[in-house]
Amino acid sequence: MKIVLAYSGGLDTSIILRWLKKNYQSEVIAFCADIGQEEELEGLEEKAQQTGAMKCIIEDLREEFARDFVFPMFQAGAIYEGQYFLGTSIARPLIAKRMIEIGRAEGADTIAHGATGKGNDQVRFELTAAALAPELRIIAPWREERFRKQFPGRAEMIAFAEANNIPVAASAAKPYSMDRNLLHISFESGMLEDPWFDASGPDARAMYKLSVSPEEAPDVPEYVDLTFENGNCVNVAQVSNLRTKMSPLRVMQTLNKLGGKHGIGRVDIVENRFVGMKGRGVYETPGGAILHFAHRQMETLTMDREFMHLRDSLVPKYSELVYNGFWFSPEREALQALVTETQRNVSGVVRLKLYKGNIIVAGRKSPKSLYDPKIATMEGDESAYDQGDATGFIRLNALRLKVRAALKHARK
């Protein structure tokens, strides 16, 4: 038996690697997708092999992640329950897709993951496998009773790691879990399971990795121009005349640095998980917050009203599909085709002011702008809009309201 394990080197997957090898008498290939974990990848291959992996495969998927997953999602304006930028959700389909490809190349018949039986990631991994490789077997240790009996909580896992010389970052002093990629860092469990705990306070200050607190951000605002082509950001510049195209990866790296510097993108939410419970999560999404805001500003200038409203009506559905793990579903692909069509004219420049956790629009322009000053102006005869035309427009729209009011009056 040969298993490909989604491996991060964190507490859960380190314990699971050793457990799989012992309990399934199998060879385990540890796979880690480099999607922006930065220093977390240092020494990972050696750690995996010391923990029992027959092989550790680390692949740089950052550009693919930004180009084929993050950018299409941001074109759609996706944000789950009005707050969550879907940083973990959008990473899982890519990781699972590559696990499947590696499994086939290595002759493995099984894939495994460390997602808990209470979270969303188990669904995301396994729905991707169902869509792309339904023949593969899936092992989810957290859903096995024998695993849960041995490890009823994180304290037992930490103790096991210490007793078996498995190096992990988690400790009794830092019991929360962390998931990092190019789009965000998420924090959950531990002291964060108490929704009254103040994650912005001094007790949690050491937790954050990507951003300073708004209180510690610079006292002077910083201006930045984002250039868009067909709904995708292609340049981030502090100098207006600098218009060299950037790759999606470079855009995200630049925005993360800027947003983190100014305390932008911290989100603390209680969200509705797909499995039916509520969960509390704290997120750092500095670059994503800026990109989402700027993209919307560009759309306000360039998108037709009904086109925008149609797309906006589908944002909750699109976001749910990503959050719930249906990236490779026909309905998400159909929605993406519509989104692509809506973005054809979303091109131009948005100027933002970044200041102490705030993103403030400071200007927008586009060669495809639908804003016409000659129509919008309030300067009397200069306007190409005849206010008198509104009389009939209002009268027609008021007709059904008048009929209803007359009927209500007649019934009294």
For the question of residue 177 being annotated catalytic, the response is: yes
Q: Which helix (H) or strand (E) element contains residue 101?
A: helix 87-106
For the question of residue 411 being annotated catalytic, the response is: no
Angle between helix 87-106 and 121-132 (nearest 10): 40
How remote is the C-alpha of 181 from its chain's centroid?
A: 9
List Cβ neighbours of 355 (8 Å cut-off, separation of 6 or more): 217, 221, 222, 262
In terms of C-beta density within 10 A (0-12 exposed, 13-18 middle, 19 or more buried), how is residue 101 classed?
middle
Could you count the other beta carbons within 10 Å of the beta carbon of residue 388?
A: 7
How remote is the C-alpha of 25 from its chain's centroid?
A: 36
Beta-strand pair 278-284/185-188 = antiparallel
**CA dist., res. 220 & res. 211, Å (int):** 17
**Residue 269: both structure tokens together:** 């939410």
* Long-range interactions of 243-249: CB distance < 8 A, separation 24+: 247/63, 247/66, 247/67, 248/63, 248/66, 248/67, 248/70, 248/71, 249/62, 249/63, 249/66, 249/67, 249/182
For the question of residue 372 being annotated catalytic, the response is: no
Beta-strand pair 55-60/110-112 = unpaired
**Residue 381: both structure tokens together:** 């005869």
Q: Which residue among 89, 177, 186, 211 is the active-site one?
A: 177
**CA dist., res. 148 & res. 161, Å (int):** 16
CB 317 within 8 A of CB 338: no
**Residue 41: both structure tokens together:** 């990848």
For the question of residue 92 being annotated catalytic, the response is: yes
Q: Which residue among 14, 89, 98, 121 is the active-site one?
A: 121
Q: Which residue among 62, 92, 311, 364 is the active-site one?
A: 92
Q: Which helix (H) or strand (E) element contains residue 104?
A: helix 87-106
In terms of C-beta density within 10 A (0-12 exposed, 13-18 middle, 19 or more buried), how is residue 121 classed?
buried
CB 79 within 8 A of CB 315: yes
Q: Which residue among 8, 12, 211, 347 is the active-site one?
A: 12
Point out the residues that are catalytic: 12, 92, 121, 177
